[in-house]
Amino acid sequence: MRVGAPSRRSCFAWARSPLPRAHRGDASGSPVASTGTRACATAAGAVTQKPPPQPSPALTAAEFAQIAPMVLLRQALQQHAVAGSGVGVRGNAHLISRTVFDRHCAESHIEDSDEALRLLAEAGTVVPISGGKEVHLRPLQLVHMYEDLVVAAAGPSSDFFIEEATRRLEAAEADAAAMRRELQPAVVRAAKWRRRVWGAALCFTGAQLAVISRLTFFDLDWDIMEPVSYFLGTGTSLLFFGYFLRHGRSHSYRDYDRTRLPAKLREYAPRDFDWDKYEAICNRVEAERRMLARIKEWMKQH
């Protein structure tokens, strides 16, 4: 039986369709994926593929206006530290005064320099010193300097400077005490002289009061003693005015002791006593006391 042309075309169309090829396989024996299978694989790959990264949002104009002055200030301080312009505070080019820092803030269009200093200090860019009066531009260098000082001071004792200042003060006080012992007899004589002088002044004032009272109420009349009392008071005032004109200061008991006692002490002192040496030792004691106080104050602050 012969197959007609329509039948042959139907057989050829059936042979070329995807479904028979999926079940037939290729010449090597492996099955051939159909068009639907390839479409599913492509869709699965599209699902598992990561989306491209989104670009970060740009700064707004307001945010840039807030950040730009601080960036300019930081660059100005870095240029100052690198260039080492000027001698700086206490000969350190990396240590600037608050006036210089405020000038850099003004050039960077920053009005609140205190807030700018606080922000830079929190960021570790600068180090405020002495309550913000000075600004160190190299924090790492300052830390190294502090570590070197701590290592140098932590030798035989952690309080090396205080112990050394105390030792020097004790030595100066010992020298002063030795010279005071040599001067002690003269001090005793001068003190006795002072008591005699003020005792005599007290006796004279009491005797004057007793005599005037006697003459006023017993021997003479008040009409006679009133002019006498007036002239005595006026004469005493004239004596005080004369003292003021001569010495340039008002008369007082304390001032009399301060001026007359040193003269009497020199008069009663031994002839070979070295007053210049004694004065130098006393000045040395005062200087060592001030130095010890300054070291203790510095240790409390740092």
pLDDT single digits (tens) 147-156? 766 665 555 5
Instruction: Identify the bridge partners of residue 73 per DSSP, sorted by sequence position.
Output: none
Confidence band, pLDDT 50/70/90 cuts, at residue 173: very high
d(CA 169, CA 181): 18
Q: Which two tokens stand for residue 56?
A: 């970060």
pLDDT single digits (tens) 94-134? 788 888 888 889 888 888 888 888 888 888 888 888 878 88
Q: Which residue ranges form the domains of the chain, and what is each CATH number? A: 66-153 (1.10.10), 160-301 (no CATH)
Contacts of 143 (CB under 8 A, 6+ apart): none
Quick one: how far is CA 77 from the chain centroid? 20
pLDDT single digits (tens) 211-232? 988 888 888 888 888 888 889 8
Q: For the CA atoms of the chain, what is the radius of gyration? A: 52
- Cβ–Cβ under 8 Å, residues 165 and 290: no
- Cβ–Cβ under 8 Å, residues 133 and 99: no
